[in-house]
Amino acid sequence: MFENLTEKLQAVFDKLSSRGRLTEADVDAALREVRLALLEADVNYKVVKAFLERVRERAIGAEVVRSLTPAQQVVKIVHEELIATLGEGAKLNLSGPAPHVIMLVGLQGAGKTTAVAKLALRLRKQGQRPLMVAADIYRPAAIHQLEVLGKQLDIPVYSEPNNRRPPEICANAVQHARKAAYTVVLLDTAGRLHINDQMMAELEAIKAKVQPAEVLLVADAMTGQDAVRVAEEFHRRVGLTGLILTKVDGDARGGAAISMRHVTGVPIKFLGTGEKPDALEEFHPDRLASRILGMGDVLSLIEKAEQTLDQQRAMEMGRRLVSGEFTLEDFLEQLHEVKKLGPLSQLLDMIPGMARVSKDLAPDVTEQQLKKVEAIINSMTKEERRRPEIINASRKRRIARGSGTTVQDINQLLGQFRQMQRMMKQFGKAPKRGGLFSMFQ
Q: Does 279 bind another protein (CB under 8 A)?
A: no
Distances (CA, A) of 328 to 41, 369, 377, 384, 389: 37, 15, 7, 8, 11
Give the nearest distance from C-beta 236 to another protein in angstroms.
Answer: 14
Q: How far is the CB of 143 from another protein (least distance, A)?
A: 8
Distance, CA of 187 to CA of 207 (rounded, Å): 10
Does residue 250 belong to the site contacting another protein (CB under 8 A)?
Answer: yes
Residue pair 431/438 in contact (Cβ under 8 Å)? The answer is yes
Interaction between residue 342 and another protein (CB under 8 A)? no
> Binding to another protein by residue 42, rule CB under 8 A?
yes
Q: 141 vs 390, which CB is nearer to another protein?
A: 141
Instruction: Pick the stretch among 226-234, 384-392, 398-406, 430-438 that binds another protein (CB under 8 A).
Output: 226-234
Among the listed ranges 235-243, 251-259, 325-333, 399-407, the one in contact with another protein (CB under 8 A) is: 251-259
Q: Which of 287, 337, 274 is nearest to 307 (CA)?
A: 337
- Does 276 sit near another protein (CB under 8 A)? no
Q: Which is nearer to another protein, 64 or 142 (CB)?
A: 142
State how beta strands 268-272 and 280-282 pair: antiparallel
Distance in Å from the first CA to the final CA of the chain: 24
Minimum CB separation of residue 82 from another protein in Å reads 17
Residue 222 as a binder of another protein (CB under 8 A): the answer is yes
Rounded Cα distance, 428 and 183, in Å: 50
- Structure letter (DSSP) for residue 432: G
Q: How many angstroms separate the CA atoms of 69 and 57, rounded? A: 19
In the region spanning residues 114 to 173, those forming contacts with another protein, defined by CB under 8 A, are 138-142, 144-149, 152
Q: Is it true that the peptide bond before 130 is cis, omega within 30 degrees of 0? A: no
Minimum distance of another protein from residue 420's CB (angstroms): 14
Piece of 123-131, 179-187, 195-203, 290-298 that binds another protein (CB under 8 A)? 195-203
Q: Which of residues 69-108 bind another protein (CB under 8 A)?
A: 107-108
Shortest spacing between CB 368 and another protein, in angstroms: 10
Of residues 348-367, those binding another protein (CB under 8 A): 349, 359, 362-364, 366
Cα 390 from Cα 59, distance rounded (Å): 53
Does residue number 223 form part of the binding site for another protein (CB under 8 A)?
A: yes
Pairing of strands 242-246, 214-220: parallel
Burial degree of 63 (CB within 10 A; 0-12, 13-18, 19+): exposed
Q: Compute the distance between CA of residue 50 and CA of residue 376 in angstroms, rounded to an integer.
A: 55
435/351 Cα distance (integer angstroms): 12
**Backbone dihedral region of 72: left (phi > 0), alpha (psi from -120 to 50 degrees) or beta?**
alpha
Beta strands across the sheet bearing 130-135: 157-158, 130-135, 184-189, 100-105, 214-220, 242-246, 268-272, 280-282
CB neighbour class for 303 (10 Å; exposed up to 12, middle 13-18, buried from 19): middle
Question: Min. distance of Cβ 222 from another protein in angstroms?
Answer: 4
Among residues 30 and 110, whose Cβ is nearest to another protein? 110
User: Which residue number, 226 or 374, has a Cβ lying nearer to another protein?
Assistant: 226
Number of residues near another protein (by CB under 8 A)? 56
* 28, 80, 168, 251: residue in contact with another protein (rule CB under 8 A): 251
Residue 307 CB, shortest distance to another protein, in Å, is 23
201 interacts with another protein by CB under 8 A:
no
Cβ–Cβ < 8 Å for 396, 410: yes
Tell me the closest approach of the beta carbon of residue 254 to another protein, in angstroms. 9
* Distance (Å, whole) CA 388 – CA 384: 5
Q: Is 339 in the site for another protein (CB under 8 A)?
A: no
- As measured in angstroms, the least distance from the Cβ of 121 to another protein is 14
Binding mask 6-35 for another protein (x = CB under 8 A): ------------------------------
Q: Is 230 in the site for another protein (CB under 8 A)?
A: yes
Minimum CB distance to another protein smaller for 228 or for 380: 228
Comparison of 198 and 441: residue with beta carbon closer to another protein: 198
Choice between 100 and 253, CB closer to another protein:
253
d(CA 63, CA 26) in angstroms, rounded, equals 12
The site for another protein (CB under 8 A) is made up of 36, 39-42, 44-45, 107-111, 138-142, 144-149, 152, 193-196, 198-199, 220-227, 229-230, 247, 249-253, 255-256, 275, 345, 349, 359, 362-364, 366
